[in-house]
Structure 1
Amino acid sequence: MNHTQLIFAREYRGYSQTELAKNIDGLSQSNLSKFEKGINVLSDDILMKIIKFLDFPLGFFEQKISIVCENAEYRKRATITKKQRSYLDYTNKLIGFIVDQMSISVEWPEFKLIPIDLEEGYTPEYAASYTRKTLNIKEGDPVNNIFQMLESKGVIVAEIDAFEKFDGVSFLTDEGYPVIAINKNFDNDRKRFSLAHELGHIIMHLAGGFPIPLNRDKEMEANTFASEFLMPAQFVKNALRNLKLSYLADLKRYWLTSMSSIIRRAKDLGCINYDRYRYLNIELSRSGQKKKESIKVPIDKPTLLQNGFNLHFNELGYSLDELCEAFKLPLDILKRIYTENKSDNRLRVA
């Protein structure tokens, strides 16, 4: 048994070493700790009790999932428990694992975006501008159909039912596929910023395999990328000069971004001073728009992952139980990640 997979299963189920040991006859926390560090063995009887209790198939513990999700984005100042972080981290790793398992039968679109190394003297703004051109977004246009646009270039996107403090994460699977997972429960304007933010991580920090110096602020770079990607300075700056509260609704409808982010963009571009920035935010709060903006913007839906499931069910003839057996995953995990979403898009059997 791969001891790292035992840690994976235990923490995904939300058990500490002490809690798991209390539920398994003949298992001590000390022996479990040593086993998870790779310096001890457990009897076959104890291991089978653990596997049954955690409700993971035996084959899962023979896998090695090494996906790194280091760019997980949580709301600033948010208090996240270790259990919450572990659950989300492992959920995202499982999504990546499923993408890799599907790649045996599914031909995912080729990744066609260009990674940009900021150590070569480029800026996040340049990276965003260049990526817009690569995606054939016309100058001065908002970013429409953002899910479809990213997936057409080989970025696989998943929406997950996460707690309110989680925004999104980007990572490469063990087979090298770029994946973005975002919180499905947010308003569309926030989803769009999260997608652009994570795209920035892929372009500047992940896909190129560039060494990133420790003094680089990757979150700030991704935020700068997202702002320029969604609201290019060259085309938004004039509209943000001396920004008034009455302008925000029309600007939001055009750029498809939140009013809060428009105000922030105006400050960052020097179109308003700090006092004006503070005043606009106070007025936004006073009207109740800070917590929940009344104007909604449209967004499309991701399709690649759902179509991958549909291909296995409809064209390859798998049942859900058979797919669990093939992927060596528990039924509850596959059910959670799979949400039926019929699509006209077709993926080819590899």
Structure 2
Amino acid sequence: MDNSHRASQTLASATSFFNGERLAMARQLSGLKKAHLAALIEMSPASVSAWESGAKQPNRATVAKLALALKVEPQFFGGGAPPRVNKPHFRSLRSTPQIAQDEAEAYGQFIAEVTGMLENAVHFPEVSLPDLPVDPEEREMTPEEAAKEARAFFGVGPGPIQHGIRLAERAGVVVVFSEPGVAAIDAYSLHSAGRPIIILNPVKDDYYRQRFDVAHELGHLIMHHDAEPGGKVAEEQANRFASEFLMPADEIGRFLPTSTAGRAWAQLAELKEHWGVSLSALLYRSRALGIMGDVSYRNAMVRMSQNGWRRAEPGRMVSLEMPSMLPGARAVMTSAGIDDEKFLSGSGLPTYLYEIAASRVPLVETRS
């Protein structure tokens, strides 16, 4: 069978079994509104809406145009419904445009689908996260109490957590970097039918802040199954969880300075390297524990701004913690003679996104 005949069969199959939900997923992955996609294929936005809702089906020529515009293979549209995922926990819904929220959610669906495919061939750790719900009023548990229980659940002894991403992956959480199209969004997390997922910002090239991001998102996954994503209370609770998780009060409290006079900055720098957290996080922790007063804290943050440390702090660690679950699975597939295209064949999923998700280093180039 020659390639042209095979391609014709693929188009025919994709047209016969066209799934509008997958069109919506592909469109959102590309960061396009319906009107933009319609303009690219020279059709009406109403047609795109009808295809996505299932009210109508595109013909074979249109399926080919959609595949080309959205950088997927035609067979992508013939698959089953995309994986079900919860709404992602974003740091701020107000500052996150709807189109970016949709793209981030679709990327979560993509990660869930790829992970499910890999699990058919590669063994992953069982999902093992504590279930420690914290409601907005904190009637039964506080974020700090949840963090203490989580440390005990994970078997973390006294002292700093050595590798946050590895801890999450051992608990069965998929940790990946986001695609360049949503790099403006901070780290976010979501639950899927298969596994919880944490998605990190590849542009945020800071070891110390990245560790706080991972702990923050773990907090959401552990505490906020039913919380409204992006809510101010839930975000503050996740910050408090991360602070206690990374810097237990009964361990770090006696070492935090009451002000930034004398050798306090040197002391803070030592604490930063020992606990693997930012100066900003240490200062915030000192104030939250009542060790540093509001005036001293404000003065410290002014000094941080004057030194340019609000954007980029000094620190010894220059390499990020890296995910290993998906990159390791991809390496296993490659060693078995199954390259990316062969692995994704039949699914129609975009190879470039799989390369980003399963890379051993964050990729921040723009899409070609």
Contact preservation (8 Å) 1:10, 1:16: yes
Q: 1:65 Cα shift? A: 1.5
Q: Which stretch has the larger CA shift, 257-266 or 211-220?
A: 211-220
Task: Find the counterpart in structure 1 of residue 327 from structure 2.
Answer: 306
1:123-154, Cα deviation, whole Å (9 max, x unpaired): 11111001111222222x01112222222222
TM-score, normalization by structure 1: 0.85
1:74-93 to structure 2, matched below 5 A, reads 74=91, 79-93=95-109
Output the CA distance in 2 between the equivalents of 1:232 and 1:152. 21
My pick for the range that moved more, 63-72 or 191-200, is 63-72
Name the residue aligned to 1:260: 280
The answer as to 2:120 corresponding to 1:101 is: no
Is 1:8 the counterpart of 2:64 in the alignment? no
Report Cα offsets for 1:322-341 as digits up to 9, x if no partner. 11204431233223333257
Structure 2 runs not aligned, ≥5 long: 1-17, 362-368
Q: How far is 1:82 from its partner? A: 4.2
Classify 1:257/1:100 alpha carbon distance in 2 versus 1 (closer, same or farther; 3 Å).
Answer: same
* Aligned-partner Cα distance in 1 for 2:315–2:157: 25
| Partner Cα separation in structure 2 for residue 329 and residue 18 of structure 1 | 23
Q: How does 1:235-246 map to 2 (within 5 A)?
A: 235-244=251-260, 245-246=264-265
**Offset of residue 216 of structure 1:** 8.4
Tell me: CA distance 1:152–1:293, structure 2 relative to 1, closer, same or farther (3 Å): same
Query: In structure 2, what is the equivalent of residue 281 of structure 1?
Result: 301
CA distance in 2, matches of 1:189, 1:336: 22
Question: What do the CA deviations read for 1:144-193 (whole angstroms, capped 9, x no partner)?
Answer: 1222222222222112354664221222233x212211123320011100
Shift of 1:202: 1.3
- C-alpha RMSD over aligned residues: 2.6
Structure 2 partner of 1:147: 165
3-state secondary structure, aligned to 2:186 = strand
Number of residue pairs matched by the alignment:
332
Identity score, percent: 26
- How do residues 109-120 of structure 1 correspond to structure 2 at under 5 angstroms? 109-118=125-134
Distance across 2 between alignment mates of 1:327 and 1:189: 37
User: What is the identity, as a one-letter code, of the residue corresponding to 2:247?
Assistant: M
After superposition, the Cα gap between the structure-2 partners of 1:307 and 1:19, relative to the gap in structure 1 and judged at 3 Å, is same
- Superposed, 1:84-233 pairs within 5 Å as 84-118=100-134, 121-139=140-158, 141-160=159-178, 162=180, 165-174=184-193, 176-186=194-204, 187-206=206-225, 211-212=226-227, 217-233=233-249
Describe the superposition over 1:6-25 as per-residue Cα deviations: whole angstroms up to 9, x where unpaired. Answer: 11212322333223223335
Please report how far the alpha carbon of residue 77 of structure 1 lies from its aligned counterpart in structure 2 after TM superposition: 9.5
Q: Render the CA deviation track for 1:193-214: whole Å, top value 9, x for unaligned.
A: 00000111111123xxxx4489
**More deviation in 156-165 or 144-153?**
156-165
**In 2, Cα distance between equivalents of 1:302 and 1:148:** 7
Q: 1:347 — aligned with what? A: none
Specify whether residues 327 and 311 from structure 1 end up closer, same or farther in structure 2 by C-alpha distance, changes over 3 A only. farther
* Deviation >6 Å, runs of 4+: 213-216
Q: Is the 8 A contact 2:324 2:360 kept in 1?
A: no
Note if contact 2:85-2:190 (Cα within 8 Å) is conserved in structure 1: yes
CA distance in 1: counterparts of 2:113 and 2:69, whole angstroms: 22
- Structure 1 pair 91–275 and aligned structure 2 pair: CA distance change class (3 A): same
Deviates more, 1:7-16 or 1:230-239: 7-16
Unaligned runs of 5+ in 1: 342-350
2:70 paired residue among 51, 54, 57: 54
C-alpha change, 1:262 and 1:106, in structure 2 (3 Å) is same
Where 1:167 maps in the other structure, the secondary structure is: coil
Amino acid at match of 2:192: T
CA distance 1:269–1:201, shift in 2 (3 Å): same
Q: Distance in 2 between the 1:150 and 1:37 partners?
A: 37
* SS in structure 1 of the partner of residue 197 of structure 2: strand
Q: Mean Cα displacement is larger for which, 271-280 or 212-221?
A: 212-221
Q: Deviations over 1:58-116 (max 9, x none)?
A: 33222311433523434x69854444443333223212211111111122101223211
Change (3 A) 1:238 1:165: farther
Secondary structure of the corresponding residue to residue 118 of structure 1? coil
For the residues of structure 1 that align with 2:37 and 2:310, how far apart are their CA atoms? 43
**CA offset at residue 287 of structure 1?**
1.8
Of 339, 349, 355, 1:335 maps to: 355
